[in-house]
Structure 1
Amino acid sequence: MNFRILMSFLLLAGVFCCPVASSGAPNVPEATPTTTPPPKRFNFADVRRRAEVLATQPFQETGTNLPDFLAKLNYDQYRDIRFRAEKTLWRDAGLPFEIQFAPLGFLFNRQVAINIVADGDSKPVEYTNDLFDYGHNQVPDNLPKDLGFAGFKVLYPLHTDSHYDEVAVFLGASYFRAVGQGQNYGLSARGLALDTGLPKPEEFPYFREFWLEKPGKDATELTVYALLDSQSVTGAYRFAIKPGVATQMEVKASIFARNKVQKFGVAPLTSMFFHGALNERFFDDFRPQVHDSDGLLLASGNGEWIWRPLNNPARLRISAYQDNNPRGFGLLQRDRSFDNYQDLEARYQIRPSIWVEPLGEWGKGSIQLIEIPSDAERYDNIAAFWVPEKPVETGQQLEFSYRLSFFLDLPTLSPGGRTLASRIGAGGAGDLNPEIRRFVIDFSGETLAKLAENTPVQAIVSASAGQIQNVVVHKNAHSNGWRLSFELLPQGVDRSELRCFLKLGNDVLTETWSYQWTVAK
């Protein structure tokens, strides 16, 4: 079935009345021409109508049957297929944005329709096999001529005017990624997360069609529309992509539910955490840390900032932070020191963080974090998203707007003392006792740096289970911040929710450090 929008233009002819000369007859005023309405221009409302109508119809899977040549490609073989640079969209027009299309193959087996919107009119991009250089792959002679695309990449002169850098890519289900200046691709964002972390298969909505607005010569942002589809929902999305030091995307989403959804994840982020400084498991790796993100940061509706270090747990962990109208959340890569990664190829120290800023009120719900056990860095095992308090019912319509920022550092985030590092090890006095767990947290920030060593800084530490003991706070001259350490005596429990922060009198000095400890097995 062809779901492309059919654009129609209604032209109304002007009707003129000519005066009739008649002796003694009154003068008849000359009629004015009927106003002709301007041609209809393609916009977000068109995509929204498509999604609304689609939701009333049974879900139909788009074609996923690829020729064996493409279906059997491995990762390296797929990467050897390159879009021919000379065929880059808008290259000859001298525009600030350019587009390259992604081929089908490997894991990307679903064809997506891509359209260009120019002067208000939408036209499909025509596919031809000669758009791609297949590298060392042995291409069969009978390769279909109507394969289509898997997605697209956005190019922009991010660092110098003379070179176009890849700044965003939409590829696979509803996944997309972006980078700002000096960044390497890392974690991903998604259109929606449905039933993620439940004891049943996760549902993966996908963008089945895109519309790219042709930018003007002085444009600083690119507008992309997308039609989302799945067994349970349809949706219309608008992305305003603004490349820069911290590339931003303003996202508007209208969602229509075909079926009831048990867990509805808004503005989902997906990342990788293999191992880091908070390990309680052994990883046979020469690199001290391997991760795209090292923590979840939350700005709650009541003004509290919460930092949750990530981990690669021995068992599935799901954490939910109840909130009302959250101010933001994100998966961050705070550790920017190469010494802590020692990976010349992956360059984890310049992987971007993503911050989600709601535009408008989202009401009651929870920010949920899912940590999945993983035995390799190639797996994305971390997910974070917003879940509304009330379940999504069949026929329900939902509207969400938010801003995504892809950055190395945003000084405005967590204006108080930030968590600089989190560590864990055996506790106890004298001989170490592995049954006692010692936690060491370093906080840093301008206010903390100005405090004298003898300032009576107080630590507030709590645990949902077990006993907290040996709480110590002191100045850390090496980081110019403050260090908090404490011990957890489990007392037979196998998990405990931990929280701590620093204060001076009635003033809170730091964000709240939050962690779910579980027995390492």
Structure 2
Amino acid sequence: MNRRMFMKASMAFATVSGMSGLSTLFAQSAWADEGIADGTATRFDFDELKKMAAGLAKKPWGGAPGALPPTLANLTPQAYNEIQYDANHSLWNDVANRDLDVQFFHVGMGFKRRIRMFSVDAKSREAREIHFRPELFNYNNAQVDMHQLEGKTDLGFAGFRAFKKPELARRDIVSFLGASYFRAVDDTYQYGLSARGVAVNTFSNGHEEFPDFTAFWFDTVAPESTTFTVYALLDGPSVTGAYKFTIDCEEKRVVMEIENHLFARTDIKQLGIAPMTSMFSCGTNERRMCNTYHPQIHDSDRLAMWTGSGEWIARPLNNPQKLQFNAYQDNNPRGFGLLQLNHDFKDYQDVIGWYDKRPSLWVEPLGKWGKGAINVMEIPTTGETLDNVVCFWQPEQPIKAGSEYNFHYKLYWSSLPPVRSGLARVDATRSGMGGFPEGWAPGEHFPEVWSRRFAVDFVGGDLKAAAPKGIEPVITVSSGTIKQIEILYVEPLDGYRILFDWYPNSDATTPVDMRLFLRTKDETLSETWLYQYFPPPPDQRKYVDDRQMNPG
């Protein structure tokens, strides 16, 4: 699936039935000319939203969205981008000394979900709906037939984005757009990977679903505050949900505290909590798709996990030749995320995607999540426009129709995760031909037995202090054998490189799970490196010398 295009143009699983069905849950609105929140005042709080979601789960899902007016449905991406919200009508435009503001996305193109928006007075808890009307937007050169929009107060909006001083109305820092997708930036103002409200049947025998946020309620922001609260109603074929987002737009990062209450409409084979979606095309460890001038192309370079037992794990991402799914069992995880730790422009050379500026996303569970697994799915991709990595927490307990589940967690959008161990961390992973002494390139005599060499760099921690005691690499593999283990101090890194060669013991091409950490006799020195290697078929396990030299 082209997940990045899904984010840009959510094509399905949005429900207008949600719109018609929601009319029984909300008070009918009356048109007024006072501000953008023009609906009739109704009482709102999070408890009411939870009741709303629970009631909705007892009703059948209404199906796919209805048609938009043709002038909107047929917009090209270029034309859609011409439609801009008028900053003079932003949500909190009348709040004095505001540090935050919100604007809305127009429906159109693939964004068919008609989302309802409500403004909530934080003191009185009165909510008023914000109806769509053309004067909220500047259509520029989109060539929209305005006659088709006359009287269409039920069009709703496609999503919203938030701005922060000094970039009010110029550069957004939070965006909710498409199904239950949302993103945020750090102080680089560069979007990267995405999060979702929930994932359903991402890797199972069932059809994957993309539930939608169908309505949002915004507490009026306080003057000079960098934090705002938004509530969301989620609706999909198998699940509904009530969400509370407390979003703190800090100086160098965005932190979201999320509380959700999920209500299962049907049995669900695979429920993903705190899901995130990213892109990995090629990096230091995977060069198959790097046939460009870019040394590396990825939004994230690793899955990081802090287990309930206290182990720190770094698992480099792959761009496999066929879809791969891994589940890492845990009990009460302390944190996990997809990280982008390399922020050196020289390693990307990309002046369009700016991958060196892309943020990491770290999940901090609040409370006990119990038993389950951190799942990661990697999909083959040919380039950077395809999001091909999905990660989430899957509870161990079966998800049964009629049941309620709630999860509380924080999301940190920042260049580095908010917590780090004192251990040495994995800096980079590299792989290439093995079977010959390090420092010697194969010459006339090539290795008689095929093998694959791995180089794993560790930096930080107390490695240098531990060196006199003896650094021991502890390496395990699920198949094959390990030989030629070397430990090298690399001065430019001020770290240590662990080299080893992997030799197959069969013709199998099934993935090889590798595990490595460093220790002395009495203490662990590093986080654990996990890797999945895909051996080539037997007929490709040979070195072919295709070098050419012109005779003198």
Give the TM-score, by structure 1 length: 0.89
Seen in structure 2, the aligned counterparts of structure 1 residues 71 and 221 have a Cα distance that, compared at 3 Å, is same
CA deviations on 1:379-412 (whole Å, 9 max, x unpaired) are: 1110000011122011111010000000012363
Seen in structure 2, the aligned counterparts of structure 1 residues 52 and 376 have a Cα distance that, compared at 3 Å, is same
Of 519, 526, 532, the residue aligned with 1:503 is 519
Please name the residue that 1:18 is paired with. Answer: none
Seen in structure 2, the aligned counterparts of structure 1 residues 365 and 149 have a Cα distance that, compared at 3 Å, is same
Please name the residue that 1:148 is paired with. Answer: 156
Seen in structure 2, the aligned counterparts of structure 1 residues 504 and 165 have a Cα distance that, compared at 3 Å, is same
How far does residue 251 in structure 1 lie from its aligned partner after superposition?
A: 0.3
Of 136, 142, 147, the residue aligned with 2:141 is 136
* 2:304/2:314 contact within 8 Å kept: yes
Q: Within 5 Å, which residues of 2 pair with 1:14-33? A: none
Residue type of the alignment partner of 1:111: R
Name whichever of 135-144 and 226-235 sits farther off: 135-144
Please name the residue that 2:492 is paired with. Answer: 478
How far does residue 199 in structure 1 lie from its aligned partner after superposition?
A: 4.4
Please name the residue that 1:175 is paired with. Answer: 181
How far does residue 62 in structure 1 lie from its aligned partner after superposition?
A: 6.2
| Alignment partners' CA distance in 2, 1:225 and 1:411 | 25
Please name the residue that 1:468 is paired with. Answer: 482
Of 199, 202, 220, the residue aligned with 1:196 is 202
Answering whether residue 238 of structure 2 is matched by residue 220 of structure 1, we say no
* 2:72/2:108 contact within 8 Å kept: yes
How far does residue 59 in structure 1 lie from its aligned partner after superposition?
A: 0.8
Seen in structure 2, the aligned counterparts of structure 1 residues 88 and 175 have a Cα distance that, compared at 3 Å, is same
* 2:294/2:350 contact within 8 Å kept: yes
Please name the residue that 2:6 is paired with. Answer: none
How far does residue 41 in structure 1 lie from its aligned partner after superposition?
A: 5.4
Q: Within 5 Å, which residues of 2 pair with 1:371-382? A: 371-382=378-389
Residue type of the alignment partner of 2:22: F
Query: Secondary structure at the residue paired with 2:420?
Result: coil
CA deviations on 1:442-490 (whole Å, 9 max, x unpaired) are: 01114225455x5510000000111111111121111001111111112
* 1:210/1:224 contact within 8 Å kept: yes
Seen in structure 2, the aligned counterparts of structure 1 residues 312 and 461 have a Cα distance that, compared at 3 Å, is same
* 2:255/2:411 contact within 8 Å kept: yes
CA deviations on 1:237-261 (whole Å, 9 max, x unpaired) are: 0000001112100000000101000
Q: What are the ranges of 5 or more consecutive residues in structure 2 without an aligned counterpart?
A: 1-19, 29-40, 538-552
How far does residue 280 in structure 1 lie from its aligned partner after superposition?
A: 4.9
| Alignment partners' CA distance in 2, 1:215 and 1:368 | 36
Query: Secondary structure at the residue paired with 2:346?
Result: helix
Answering whether residue 420 of structure 2 is matched by residue 406 of structure 1, we say no
| Alignment partners' CA distance in 1, 2:62 and 2:21 | 12
Q: What are the ranges of 5 or more consecutive residues in structure 1 without an aligned counterpart?
A: 9-38
Answering whether residue 120 of structure 2 is matched by residue 117 of structure 1, we say yes
How far does residue 503 in structure 1 lie from its aligned partner after superposition?
A: 0.8
Residue type of the alignment partner of 2:293: F
Please name the residue that 2:35 is paired with. Answer: none
Seen in structure 2, the aligned counterparts of structure 1 residues 2 and 509 have a Cα distance that, compared at 3 Å, is same
Larger Rg: 1 or 2? Answer: 1
Seen in structure 2, the aligned counterparts of structure 1 residues 351 and 449 have a Cα distance that, compared at 3 Å, is farther
| Alignment partners' CA distance in 1, 2:422 and 2:407 | 26
Residue type of the alignment partner of 2:534: T
| Alignment partners' CA distance in 1, 2:229 and 2:536 | 47
Please name the residue that 2:360 is paired with. Answer: 353
* 1:62/1:110 contact within 8 Å kept: no
| Alignment partners' CA distance in 1, 2:168 and 2:248 | 18
Please name the residue that 1:34 is paired with. Answer: none
| Alignment partners' CA distance in 2, 1:449 and 1:290 | 32
Answering whether residue 470 of structure 2 is matched by residue 456 of structure 1, we say yes
Greater percentage in strand:
1
Please name the residue that 1:127 is paired with. Answer: 132
Residue type of the alignment partner of 1:198: S
Residue type of the alignment partner of 1:123: R
| Alignment partners' CA distance in 2, 1:102 and 1:243 | 20
How far does residue 137 in structure 1 lie from its aligned partner after superposition?
A: 2.0
Of 423, 447, 459, the residue aligned with 1:416 is 423
Taking only the aligned residue pairs, the percentage that are identical comes to 39
Please name the residue that 1:61 is paired with. Answer: 63
Name whichever of 235-244 and 147-156 sits farther off: 147-156
Query: Secondary structure at the residue paired with 2:142?
Result: coil
Answering whether residue 85 of structure 2 is matched by residue 83 of structure 1, we say yes
Give the TM-score, by structure 2 length: 0.84
How far does residue 71 in structure 1 lie from its aligned partner after superposition?
A: 2.2
Residue type of the alignment partner of 2:512: S
| Alignment partners' CA distance in 2, 1:451 and 1:478 | 19
Residue type of the alignment partner of 2:113: R
Answering whether residue 240 of structure 2 is matched by residue 234 of structure 1, we say yes
| Alignment partners' CA distance in 2, 1:49 and 1:66 | 30
| Alignment partners' CA distance in 1, 2:136 and 2:465 | 59
Residue type of the alignment partner of 2:246: A
| Alignment partners' CA distance in 1, 2:450 and 2:380 | 22
* 2:339/2:361 contact within 8 Å kept: yes
Residue type of the alignment partner of 2:163: L
Query: Secondary structure at the residue paired with 1:357?
Result: strand
Please name the residue that 2:271 is paired with. Answer: 264
| Alignment partners' CA distance in 2, 1:506 and 1:258 | 52
